Structure 1
Amino acid sequence: MTHVAVAGAGPVGLTAALALARQGARVTVLEAGEGLAAESRASTFHPPTLEMLAELGAVDEVLARGLTAPTFAYRDRAAGHVATLDLAVLAGDTPYPYRVQLEQSKLTPILAEHLGRLGGEIRFGQTVTGAETTTTGVRVHAGATALDADWLIAADGAHSAVRRCLGVEFAGITYPERFLVASTDEDLHALLDALAEVNYVFDPVDWSVLLRTPDHWRVLLPTPDGSPDEAELARLDTRLRQIADPGRPWRVAHASIYRVHQRVAVSFQHGRVLLAGDAAHVNNPLGGLGMNSGIHDAVAYAAALAGPDQEQAVTTAAADRRRIALEYVQTVSHRNYERLTATDPAARAAHLDELRAIAADPARSRAYLLRACMMASLRPVTA
């Protein structure tokens, strides 16, 4: 029986563990925290990810607890609604022609419960500090203890201790502005016309994303570098009332500011160690590609480890996932950023006109959505 250690009990690590356990592998998950993380973080599930969760037996709970988003919209700060894309045009391509909005902190307990039923083990309070390939597999260090396994999947986040101990370069860029995310229980549908559950708002200075989850709306805003967090949080209500003014201060439950990077590890495989999710690649959140692509990493690795020729299958899978991270995830997410922040008026107007034309043409909508919803990154699509 193959024994796989997994560093990190986030959505990527637990997906890998569950997929492996369903294949009959022995799985040990090592998580630094004393329990599953409670932060909201990522919240968008694209159609192919829902297909994978269905294969893992977890999609019904995700659908029951999540918010179905059949459309998403593009808006302009000055002009208002521009275009709405309807994922129903993908009905012939997937059984899930919609997005689902559900915070990752609500997915991980679902995955952990399924994993527990299959005998998978999660060890909390186990900070993985390093790993090395041995003659028989991999030795994983967690504090003062060591665990021997056949393989290690490192899903321990953007600051991955495993990646750092292996000396793997994490090449890329850091965006000049920081991102501010605020959670609110305001009824934005009552404040803005033609609002979808996910909305991208173009503006060269103050672009934004308005995204609904089951519990609240999430508003994403750019924040200048060098300005103290306290100052930015103090002017948050003024910025929110420029989006929509309820005639009083917005009800904000939580707000935080963070830096955003576009980075990819130079290799996703190092001997018997595989990097997955944010440990392997990070990108801006525009388009909701990060968590989804990490889950896709996990499923690909589990499939590679299921066959008899593990070494070759794993090498192929790791190379393919890195190619997708570079050619698709990084490219699409950065293009989304460039289009939201474009300053040239003619280029902005041309792009908004193009979006209107795409929304009005089902064939063009389907082609556009196959890429935006990540389906084109995983399998060939026909016209």
Structure 2
Amino acid sequence: MTSKTAGHNDPPVIIVGAGPVGMTATAMLAREGIPVVLIEAEPVPKTDWRASTFHAATLELLERIEITDQMIAEGLSVPRYQFRDRRDGLVAEFDLTLLRDETPYPFRLQLNQQHLVRMLYERLRTDDNVTMFFGSRVDEVAGTSDGATVLMETPTGPVTLHGSYVIGADGAGSTVRQSLKVDFAGYTHPERFLIASTTADISALVPGIAEVNYVADPQEWLFILRTPESWRAVWPVPPEVSRETATSPETLQAQLQGLAPCPGGYPIVDHQIYNVHQRVASTFRVGNVMIIGDAAHINSPMGGVGLNSGIHDAMDLTNRIIRVLAGTAERESELSTFAEIRRRVAIEYVQADTRRNTERLAETDDARRRENQAEMRAIAGDPDRARAWMRRVSLLESVRRFGIGTPPHEYESIRAAAG
């Protein structure tokens, strides 16, 4: 397959996975006139409701593909969020407008991830630089001296493609990662997480509640947030409770009624139950094949950073590939720097923070629970500490510290300073 755009004679970049991370990577490369082949196992663009938070650092990065304004127009901008206790009520409230001098987006944007997929699909399906294979399953990926080869099964039969690079954005069960025989070390939480979405107005049922809330409880913590379509509640499901029991209409209704009584019952428009992992791949790159997003690192959703860090991976990697294909950068140093930086961010920020958030909500020791409450109140009550806290959880800190697509020679000085 050859380039569709004058000036680019390299084989296409092959991207496996057309979720928000794979679509973002595709859009970044296509805007530079680089040919891309996008492969997706599902027959149509994904409609998964699971992730729904976009942080300030991510909205800044998505300006590069000119999609941020459309997202904000369709989404819900949330400037404040709360830490609550199921017994004690409000513990602390954080106001993201404290970051207004540091970012043009001092809020969390609540927008279900399938909307970003839809927006980018509508744009990319008519882009001459993009070839899409939906309903096509990748069976094997192998690196070559001048790129990589993908074997896939399409609706019309097997196809073999050769690309200059292969990017695996194909989720936690990544075929690309498995083909590379890359270890995915970590652990799986014993409980599963359940998301239920309702059109009931929870803010009317729980006075004073914010549009994003982390609710601690030693028996059953909750994460409650609002999106443009609905309110969503996330809670843990003990391992001994079957999927059928956990997702039955009676159980879902009882769980939501336990949050706040709703006369006439909660109208439930969607629900999902899934296993939760804390895992990081041993490397994000083997030769000319790279993995990003959930294919490279997966974590608890407490903090809303999984989707965001995956988009950051995509932006970092594609910036490097663009430079390499333009002949202004050296391939080995660029790709090695991508793998090192993004794995470091995954461990030091994404994994550390989401694990800490989940443990804080589920703490069973009463003395530690009180200590956690006192700490959160102290942070929220001090504008400087609150800014530092929100800078980190919005991923502004990691982006300012390591950059996105930072050239290798600049990263050397960052690494020396960071230790």
SS in 2 for 1:186: coil
**Is 1:354 matched with 2:379?**
no
Could you tell me which amino acid in structure 1 is paired with residue 267 of structure 2? R
**Is 1:105 matched with 2:126?**
no
Aligned pair partner of 1:375 in 371, 396, 399: 396
2-structure distance, mates of 1:246, 1:87: 30
Answer yes or no: is the 8 Å Cα contact 1:22–1:118 preserved in 2: no
Moved more, 20-29 or 209-218: 20-29
Alignment-derived partner of residue 336 in structure 2: 315
**Is 1:63 matched with 2:72?**
yes
The structural deviation recorded for 1:115 is 2.8
| CA distances 1:268-312 after superposition (whole Å, capped 9, x unpaired) | 001110001011110010000111000000000001112231221
The structural deviation recorded for 1:318 is 1.4
Answer yes or no: is the 8 Å Cα contact 1:200–1:208 preserved in 2: yes
The structural deviation recorded for 1:358 is 1.8
| CA distances 1:238-276 after superposition (whole Å, capped 9, x unpaired) | 222121112342221222221111111111001110001
1-structure distance, mates of 2:386, 2:127: 41
Q: How does 1:319-330 map to 2 (within 5 A)?
A: 319-330=340-351
1-structure distance, mates of 2:284, 2:271: 33
**Is 1:205 matched with 2:219?**
yes
1-structure distance, mates of 2:266, 2:173: 34
Alignment-derived partner of residue 91 in structure 1: 100
**Is 1:331 matched with 2:352?**
yes
**Is 1:165 matched with 2:179?**
yes
Moved more, 211-220 or 119-128: 119-128
The structural deviation recorded for 1:232 is 2.1
Aligned pair partner of 1:125 in 104, 128, 135: 135
2-structure distance, mates of 1:312, 1:126: 33
The structural deviation recorded for 1:377 is 1.4
2-structure distance, mates of 1:180, 1:204: 17
**Is 1:215 matched with 2:236?**
no
1-structure distance, mates of 2:134, 2:127: 18
**Is 1:53 matched with 2:74?**
no
Could you tell me which amino acid in structure 1 is paired with residue 322 of structure 2? A
| CA distances 1:96-134 after superposition (whole Å, capped 9, x unpaired) | 111101111111111123334542222212211111111
Answer yes or no: is the 8 Å Cα contact 1:155–1:275 preserved in 2: yes
2-structure distance, mates of 1:224, 1:218: 19
The structural deviation recorded for 1:51 is 0.5
Q: Give the alignment's Cα RMSD to 1 decimal.
A: 1.3
**Is 1:80 matched with 2:89?**
yes
1-structure distance, mates of 2:55, 2:126: 26
Moved more, 231-240 or 199-208: 231-240
Could you tell me which amino acid in structure 1 is paired with residue 310 of structure 2? G
2-structure distance, mates of 1:34, 1:250: 32
Alignment-derived partner of residue 42 in structure 1: 51
Q: How does 1:101-250 map to 2 (within 5 A)?
A: 101-116=110-125, 118-119=127-128, 120-143=130-153, 144-233=158-247, 234-250=250-266
* Percent of matched pairs sharing the same residue: 44
**TM-score of the pair, normalised by structure 1:** 0.97
Alignment-derived partner of residue 259 in structure 1: 275
Q: What is the number of equivalent residue pairs in this alignment?
A: 381
**TM-score of the pair, normalised by structure 2:** 0.88
The structural deviation recorded for 1:136 is 1.5
2-structure distance, mates of 1:254, 1:212: 14
SS in 2 for 1:379: helix
Alignment-derived partner of residue 284 in structure 1: 300
2-structure distance, mates of 1:210, 1:350: 23
Structure 1: which 5+ residue stretches go unaligned?
Answer: none
| CA distances 1:16-53 after superposition (whole Å, capped 9, x unpaired) | 11111122211110111111011212110000110111
Moved more, 115-124 or 322-331: 115-124
Could you tell me which amino acid in structure 2 is paired with residue 258 of structure 1? Y
Answer yes or no: is the 8 Å Cα contact 1:81–1:193 preserved in 2: no
2-structure distance, mates of 1:117, 1:125: 18
Aligned pair partner of 1:14 in 23, 26, 41: 23
